[in-house]
Amino acid sequence: MEKLSSRFSAYRIMWVMVVFDLPTQTKVDRKRHTKFVKYLKADGFSMFQFSIYLRHCPSMQNADVHKKRVKKNLPPHGHVAIFHFTDKQFGMTELFQGKKEAKKPDLPQQLELF
Q: Among positive and negative, which fits the CA dihedral 66, 71, 72, 74?
A: positive
Compute the distance between CA of residue 75 and CA of residue 24 in angstroms, rounded to an integer: 12
Looking at CATH, the fold of the domain delimited by 10-90 is given as: Alpha-Beta Plaits (3.30.70)
Summarize pLDDT for 16-43 with one digit per residue, the tens: 999 999 999 999 999 999 999 999 999 9
Compute the distance between CA of residue 103 and CA of residue 97 in angstroms, rounded to an integer: 9
Containing 62, the helix (H) or strand (E) segment is helix 60-72
CA–CA–CA angle 87, 93, 94 (5° rounding)? 155
Summarize pLDDT for 55-112 with one digit per residue, the tens: 999 999 999 999 999 999 999 999 999 999 999 999 898 989 898 998 877 766 554 4
The residues spanned by each domain of the chain are 10-90
Number of H helices, E strands in the chain: 4, 6
